[in-house]
Amino acid sequence: MTKSRKPLGKYRRIVIKIGSALLVDRAAGLKKAWLDALSADIAALRAGGTEVLVVSSGAIALGRSVLKVPSGALKLEESQAAAAVGQIALARAWSESLSADGIVAGQILLTLGDTEERRRYLNARATISQLLKLGAVPIINENDTVATTEIRYGDNDRLAARVATMTGADLLVLLSDIDGLYTAPPHLDPSARFLETIDAITPEIEAMAGGAASELSRGGMRTKIDAGKIATGAGCAMIIASGKIDRPLSAIENGARSSWFAPSGSPVTARKTWIAGQLQPAGRLEIDAGAESALSSGKSLLPAGVRAVSGTFSRGDTVSIIGTGGREIARGLVGYDADEARLIAGKKSAEIAEILGYAGRAAMVHRDDLVVTGRAATAEKDVAHA
């Protein structure tokens, strides 16, 4: 896999994420001229053979505009009502705009569970794949009419990354009100340096993420970096670029400033991509140095290497594996319920039967159900065992 930047038209499948502030003006409503210009960009990509998916924010903001809801924080039921009206308006806007270029739009509304629960994940992927096969452009958004704080993404950056990995896209483009990644928030620090190429998302890169820059947008640079970790880990490149100008995709092609995140040189398999991208691990396993070394060489996590267990989880749930440095280094599907995991943590596999009263699995997390996510380890051997 090449890790060098290439023209957008050279990618096979691109996911484009649109921020609310780009699409909706708080006073005037939908920015139709901007949307039409972006649709022309999408049509040009498709004419060159590139498949395009859109993750579009804006339902709540557009619904507020249609309903003439005053500015300020919304209660949950108010935001859901705004989304109910806004989703219809947003879908109509995309349909009308893309149809000018002879393109059919298909709306897909997702909740967190649709990408976190394996069966629903596969179903959503199949639907999106069929839309692409039929030549339509999927317009995807979080289903804000039913999602609550506990069961939502809360931002479309990470949703877009999950869609990109779900559909096997090779590029994710995040269009925002900032033109890329800086060493510090540029509106706060005039000396902040722009970063054009990011070869890997290190802790130093993560530390550069600032807060949200717009009232209409729920996401900030933090969520964009989270999205980058999900996407690049699955072998998908990512670009952060400004969408404030007309035809922003053409602008990227013509050399407009943007930050490019290189895809991982060792993308994980589809099943492990799903595991790695889980946004809400059900628990944590803290491990010792010996176990950390074993994971980095592609081995399973045994109970003996687990120092502490936290969270409430069941067998088969995704857990976060924490290394000696206090950072997450891997994720996996745990082989035991939380109470059982606590009982056998730090114990040898041969002792499991005596402790639990039955012969359980030798591994706390089997290597086939585990993906290394930390910077200190590599996933090459892990992938070889998939």
Question: Is 144 marked as a binding-site residue?
Answer: yes
Does residue 101 have a known ligand-binding role? no
Which of 46, 269, 261, 42 shows the shortest CA–CA distance to 161? Answer: 261
Is position 293 annotated in a ligand binding site?
Answer: no
Distance CA 302, CA 370 (A): 12
SS3 51: strand
Q: Is 71 among the annotated ligand-binding positions? A: no
- 1 three-state secondary structure: coil
Q: 95 by DSSP, 3-state: which?
A: helix
| Residues 333, 116: Cα–Cα separation, whole Å | 12
d(Cα 15, Cα 36) in Å, to the nearest integer? Answer: 18
β-pairing, 318-322 vs 283-287, is parallel
In one letter, which amino acid is 337?
D
What is the secondary structure of 262-288 as a DSSP string?
Answer: PPPSSPPPHHHHHHHT-SS-SEEEEE-
Which residue positions form the known binding site for substrate?
Answer: 57, 144, 156
Which residue positions form the known binding site?
Answer: 17, 57, 144, 156, 176-177
Which residue positions form the known binding site for ATP?
Answer: 17, 176-177
